[in-house]
Structure 1
Amino acid sequence: MQTRQLLPDELNWVKVSGVSWAGKGFYYSGYDAPKTGENSLAGKNEYHKVYYHQLGTAQTADKLVYEDKTKALGFRIAGVTDDERFLFLSLTDSKADGNKLLVRDLTDPKQANTWVTVQTSYEFDTSVVGNVGGELLVYTNDHAPNFKVVRIDPRHPQPASWKTVIPEAKEKLEGISQAAGSLLATYLHDASSLVKVYSEDGAYKYDVELPAIGTAAGFGGRRTDKDLYYAFTSFTYPTTIYKYDPATNQSTVFKAPTVDVKPAEYLTTQVFYASKDGTKIPMFITHKKGVKLTGKNPTYLYAYGGFNVSLTPGFSAARMLWLENGGVLAIPNLRGGGEYGEAWHKAGMTPNKQNVFDDFIAAAEYLKVLNYTDADHLAIAGGSNGGLLVGATMTQRPDLCKVAFPAVGVMDMLRYQKFTIGWNWAPEYGTSDDKAQFANLYQFSPLHTLKPGTAYPATLITTADHDDRVVPAHSFKFAAQLQADQAGNNPTLIRIDVNAGHGAGKSTKLQIDEWADIWSFAFYNMGVNLK
């Protein structure tokens, strides 16, 4: 960092990995190099391992820290506490939705090659926040669907010996960090952040005052620091870094972006609408103040609905073009996400996946009832699991919208588990290897529910040639079948980025080019002229 020169160290075949610094190197996870003839982009990833790399050495000299030769499918990810006393491992299983947790005291010679199992079940999500002396602070939904924080002595790791530090609350505890001698707990209240400060023994201090309704994240720092930092963002509030002093409960702007956006010129409201089964679903709606609601406003409906992911308010410079041209942005928090804890997640996974599509369809219909838009001026969008959402919605309700944007979507639900890390999604979706799950998947698999001679929306499918998470074959097959089955004049196009992957790390130029194509496609097919 002092010289800002790139080090010669280079690591290959690192995937589903963090970087946990310790001593003169770091822990990371990866796979063996593909064997001759194996497809490195589409082949199934098996036998995840944890290594320690010392800076200045070759990867071939890296120390193997953990492997399980009896378990081909699952992730193994290492972490280290801030004081480098404890090394911990998160282990997942392809048939479950949580993780086991192992820990080793690096200061105890007796534990040099011994792991203590802190969480024995794959059923729950369990992770280490930090430590206070010889005890671990652990974040878990073990018998607490909205999560809690407990203190665990690795010498007595049995759940009966766990001490509750922050109990489960009505709101979901979305995240927890240990910094500056405090615990900072980020809760979700109707999909927006609410941050509370506690002492390390769990005594409540106060709430952090945030600039507006939105998303706060980070709160990073060392336990011994006096200050820490967090980021705040919302739909029309560019991501801003704040410096926070827990002693005074004061936040000051540390770094604000130079983006010419005036939040006061926009309006964001949150509504709650009824889905098909009557469940109330929250949705954020944003547009420029003064926009007249004609029932024909161009509207971009974006969602995800899966994997316990919470879709909270966030700024996107690309979306500002849409809003500047009189567009409406609508983001519903569908079941399958994590906005209301594990019960909300389970209501949209495996046999309940149809709830997610019903929630999305109901959001579109509600926008029409509120006179925001109509079918000719509505675009639906989503990426990855959200690409599946768009694909399933447009095949079930081709009359719902004018434009569809399924991005890097899981379109073949009968074979997804056969490629790269697709096996990891089995707890969320189920697999075609099971007879009952096959029947459920077949009912909504976008590739298999297209019907010849149907007038589908104008569709721009996006993928990338090096996507090794959701392999591009999903999009290729869906595009080909949709082109064959499409009736009417609505176009079906596929856009393939070259030398790009699932989306993360995409260059600014590639992002600009992609968004230019997306908005051009939307405005053109809706018959809307740019200002």
Structure 2
Amino acid sequence: MYPTTRVTDDVDELAGVTFPDPYRWLEGDGDDVRRWQDAQGEVAASYVRDWPHFDRLRESVARFTVPRIGFSPRTAGGRWFRAAVAEGASQARVIVADEPFGEGRVLFDPAAENPDRPPYVSWISPSPDGSMLAVGVCDDGSERNTIRLIDTETGARLREPPRPPLKDNWTAGAHWLPDSTGFFFTGTDDSPTSVAHDVWLHRRVPEPTTTLVDGVSWLPEQDYRTVVVSRDGAYAVALQRLLNPVPVAVARLDDPAGLQWRPFVTGVDGTLAGHLVGEEWIAVTDVGAPRGRVVAIALDAKDPDDPASWREIVPESDTVIRTLTPVGDLLYLSELSDTYAKVRVVDGAGAACGQVPLPGRGALAEQPFPLMNLMNGHAEAYLFEFSTLVGSWGTYRHRPGEPELEVLREPEVVIENAVVEDGWATSEDGTRIPYHVVRLRDISLNRPRPALMYAYGGFNVSWTPQFPGPIAAFVAAGGVYVHCHLRGGAEFGRAWWEGGRLANKQNGYADLYAIAHDLIATGVTSSNLLAVTGGSNGGLMSGVALTQRPRLWAAVVPRVPLLDLVGACRDVYGRYVVELEFADPADPGEVERMAEFSPYHLVKDGVEYPAVFIDAGDTDPRCPPWHARKFGARLQAATAGEAPILVRVWSDVGHGWATDREVAITQNTEWLAFTMKTLGLAPR
């Protein structure tokens, strides 16, 4: 059934610990690897497309395909800018209008740049006066993007856009100077696995120049960096660290001598994610408060690294504070209560000023990592996106003092006649683990049903109860979707993250198994009807679940996965990821511990593995496709069962952030078809 795969006697070594690596050659990019990958893809595609319900499922997947994270329109100079996919198009265009969702006119159409393969709009950033628009454009699915500058009045593209490229959209693109003459951006080098994050300043006048920002007291660690501009335009603030950002330096923008950076917070082991308001940095911190509190640090503080010098605005409580947004003189606090979103409003002294009446129990649109959420926001009103487990993103506006929300855009799709039920499982160490069950109202749980579990559980990411996108097609077909919250995420604050990372990483996998056993014990499903999937760190989780508990599942779908944690340390980005979340790759004991949840190293000959569909992209800079190739080859050789082990690596597809819409629909249809075919579930 499978293409022939040669085996070598290669050995991998990390911190003096050695491991057999019989499929090392699949890490290459030569013709032999390409032929193997293409042949595997043909087997996988043939298997799912032979299913008679494939085309009908694709129609359902297309209906439920919406952006993975809601993005609000941005306002500048009295105009509104947004990215939107036109009917029949595969990529978003950029539109400028007089209202948030006004008809407007097109400023940038990727199809005009390449009609055959329109590039992906990674981010948009209008200048403060609205006269200029910066757009990040990715043309190969990898997330690497280059900048286009467009005159808002004429639609003309300016010559000499700044270089170098941006690694991704995680630092929000261009951060404009208050006079709209230029902007800061975070550039990288030419290596797809680089962790280089240099900050550049591009000025348009008197002539276009792009210079490296120096003199900043950057922390020695290799991590994301960015420079943002304060709300009043008086200061530039340098921020560092993706998962727990801190403002490491500040400079006045009106200094005649140019940018004179002075160190700010450089010695804090914790998060200070916030905004500069007046002469204070106001931030959500987990220092002294695992669930978060709001503090203010004066710019002229003698020792800003000393938490005793901080002014506490909002103390820690039972809810988890995720982000804050200054609106006028008020602060809007995004919070989580038993995983569901809440928004409360306080004044600058922390006095309560009410709650935002959210349109249901669900999730605010939140970028995965804390640094990604430090946008300038909207000064006159609180503009946000919200979804539930059964309804897609809607856009809403709340004005201070108003009792009701203003609906700017209704949710595009809903899962008709669906219900959500909350559950709690108990992990092996006694920790209570929440999950949510989504099903159609007429699907009774009086007998085991086909069920699909999805989880992430890592990197301080809140896997909030938001619309599941294409997975809604599984629910619409009569399946049960289970949205899981594992330790390693951020749903319950810093302790929840620390409880599932580094030395505690196995806890997150134990949490997954606890939910699975709870679903089986309560009759929701059974092992022969249970599937599990996840992407990125969730792809790793799926691979661990497959190899640690092969009899617990009928189908496993690791998506854009990290599967060889030892081999990952051979490139700079992979080592950076391992050090953040899994282990110290320089410590032999840590390496041996990590090998206990590195799926490639856990595969055993003669085990009857369940059905597996490994889904990856060949331009993925975060979890390179060789993880999928090597793991698939090892499983195909080892399994004693007859269940299919399929490997599908997509061309010109990366980690999922910049995938063409039509390609994404087909990609999601394939892995869902595999899952539903295995579980005996068909579209209604």
Q: Give the TM-score normalised by the residue count of structure 2.
A: 0.71
Equivalent in the alignment of 2:192:
41
Cα 1:2–1:194 change in 2 (3 A) is same
C-alpha deviation, 1:369, in angstroms: 1.2
What's the counterpart of residue 151 of structure 1? Answer: 296
Going from structure 1 to structure 2, the CA distance change for 1:101 and 1:141 (only over 3 Å counts) comes to: farther
Structure 2 residue 663 is the aligned partner of structure 1 residue 510 = yes
Measured in 1, the distance between the counterparts of 2:642 and 2:512 equals 25
| Aligned match of 2:226 | 77
Aligned counterpart for 1:117 among listed residues 264, 272, 293: 264
Task: Give the corresponding residue for 1:30.
Answer: 187
Q: How many Å apart are 1:418 and its aligned residue?
A: 2.7
Partner in structure 1 of residue 650 of structure 2: 497
The SS at the match of 1:415 is helix
Contact 1:130–1:136, Cα closer than 8 Å, also in 2: yes
Taking a change above 3 Å as real, the CA distance of residues 224 and 490 of structure 1, as seen in their structure-2 partners, is: closer
Distance 2:317 2:612 in 1: 43
* Distance (Å, rounded) in 1 between the aligned partners of 2:681 and 2:283: 52
Corresponding residue of 2:273:
127
Q: 1:317 to 1:57 in 2, by over 3 A?
A: farther
Deviation at 1:307, TM superposition (A): 0.9
Q: Distance in 1 between matches of 2:419 and 2:207?
A: 54
Aligned to 1:89: 238
The alpha carbon displacement at 1:53 in A equals 1.6
State the distance in 2 between where 1:268 and 1:420 align: 42
Q: Secondary structure of 1:194's match?
A: strand
**Aligned residue identity for 1:334:** L
CA, structure 1 residues 367+6, in 2 after alignment: closer, same or farther (shift >3 Å)? farther
Alpha-carbon shift at residue 129 of structure 1 (Å):
1.9
- Residue of 430, 447, 450 corresponding to 2:600: 447
Taking a change above 3 Å as real, the CA distance of residues 249 and 54 of structure 1, as seen in their structure-2 partners, is farther
The alpha-carbon distance between structure 1 residues 69 and 305, as it changes in their structure 2 partners (threshold 3 A), is: closer
One-letter amino acid matched to 1:83: D
Aligned pairs for 1:190-269 within 5 A: 190-217=338-365, 224-225=379-380, 227-259=381-413, 261-262=415-416, 265-269=417-421
Q: Distance in 2 between matches of 1:259 and 1:70?
A: 45
Cα contact 1:82–1:222 (8 A) shared by 2: no
Identify if the C-alpha distance between structure 1 residues 221 and 243 changes in structure 2 by more than 3 Å, giving closer, same or farther.
Answer: farther
Which residue of 163, 173, 176 corresponds with 1:21? 176
2:430 equivalent to 1:278: yes
Call closer, same or farther: CA 1:205–1:310 in 2, change over 3 Å.
Answer: same
Compute the displacement of 1:65 (Å): 0.8
- Aligned-partner Cα distance in 2 for 1:414–1:69: 29
- The answer to whether the Cα contact below 8 Å between 1:391 and 1:411 also exists between their aligned partners in 2 is yes
Q: Offset of 1:466 from its aligned partner?
A: 0.6
1:25–1:52 Cα contact (<8 Å) kept? yes
Q: Helix, strand or coil: the match of 2:630?
A: helix
How far did 1:502 drift? 0.7
Amino-acid identity (%): 29
State the alpha-carbon separation in 1 of the partners of residues 636 and 517 from structure 2.
Answer: 26
| 5+ long unaligned stretches in structure 1 | 34-39
The letter for the 2-side match of 1:107 is D
Does the 8 A contact of 2:246 with 2:265 survive in 1? no
Query: Cα gap change, 1:72/1:238 in structure 2, threshold over 3 Å: closer, same or farther?
Result: closer
| Inter-partner Cα distance in structure 1 for 2:203 and 2:246 | 27
String of CA shifts for 1:432-468, please: whole Å, max 9, x gaps: 3211211210111100000011111111111111101
1:46–1:72 contact (8 Å) kept in structure 2: no
Distance 2:217 2:364 in 1: 37
Q: 2:74 — aligned with what?
A: none
Quote the offset at 1:101 in angstroms.
2.2
Aligned-residue offset at 1:92: 3.5
CA offset digits 1:264-304 (Å, max 9, x no partner):
x1110111111112211000111010212254311110001
Alignment CA distance shift 1:414-1:244 (3 Å): same
Distance 2:439 2:263 in 1: 53
Offset, 1:7: 4.3
Matched, 1:462 2:615: yes
- Are 1:140 and 2:295 an aligned pair? no
Q: Among 544, 547, 571, which residue is 1:419 paired with?
A: 571
Q: Distance in 1 between matches of 2:495 and 2:487?
A: 9
Is residue 583–residue 590 contact of structure 2 (8 Å, CA) maintained in 1?
yes
Contact 2:186 2:226 in 1 (8 A): yes
2-side partners of 1:24 and 1:435: how far apart? 52
Deviates more, 1:292-301 or 1:481-490: 292-301
Q: Which amino acid aligns with 1:115?
A: R
- Pairwise mapping of residues 334-483 of structure 1 onto structure 2 (< 5 A)? 334-425=486-577, 426-483=579-636
Secondary structure of the corresponding residue to residue 268 of structure 1: strand
8 A Cα contact 1:181 1:223, kept in partner: no
CA distance in 1, matches of 2:250, 2:475: 49
2:345 counterpart letter in structure 1: V
Could you tell me how far 1:104 is from its partner in structure 2? 1.7
Match of 1:174 in 2: 322
- Secondary structure of 2:551's counterpart equals coil
SS of residue in 2 equivalent to 1:62: strand
| Inter-partner Cα distance in structure 2 for 1:203 and 1:352 | 38
Deviation at 1:138, TM superposition (A): 2.4
Are 1:116 and 1:154, in contact at CA under 8 Å, matched by a contact in 2?
no
Give the Cα separation in 2 of the matches to 1:190 and 1:475: 34
Deviation at 1:216, TM superposition (A): 2.3
**Which residue of the partner structure matches residue 485 of structure 1?**
638
CA distance in 2, matches of 1:317, 1:441: 32
For structure 1, which segment, 140-149 or 400-409, has the greater mean C-alpha deviation from structure 2 after superposition?
140-149
Question: C-alpha deviations, 1:175-230, integer Å up to 9, x for none?
Answer: 111123320001110111111001123221111111211112479876752x3311
Look up the SS of the partner of 1:483 in the other structure.
helix
Cα separation, partners in 2 of 1:507 and 1:439, compared to 1, 3 Å: same
Alpha-carbon distance between aligned partners in 2 of 1:371 and 1:136, rounded to the nearest angstrom: 51
Contact 1:295/1:374 (8 A) holds in 2: no
* Larger deviation, residues 390-399 vs 416-425: 416-425
Match of 1:243, as an amino acid?
A: R
8 A contact 2:273–2:323 mirrored in 1: no
The aligned amino acid for 1:502 is H
User: Does structure 2 retain, via aligned residues, the 8 Å contact 1:100–1:120?
Assistant: no
Assess, with a 3 A threshold, how the Cα gap between structure 1 residues 76 and 221 changes in structure 2: closer, same or farther. closer
> 1:16-44, CA deviations, whole angstroms, 9 ceiling, x for partnerless residues?
533312132221112234xxxxxx334xx
Compare relative contact order (CA 8 Å, sep 6+) and give the higher one, 1 or 2. 2
Q: 1:282 to 1:117 in 2, by over 3 A?
A: same
Name the amino acid aligned to 1:239: W
Q: 1:391 to 1:162 in 2, by over 3 A?
A: same
Q: Go from structure 1 to structure 2 and tell me whether the alpha carbon gap of 1:490 and 1:58 turns closer, same or farther (over 3 Å shift).
A: farther
1:185 to 1:46, Cα distance in 2 relative to 1, 3 A: closer
TM-score normalized by structure 1?
0.91
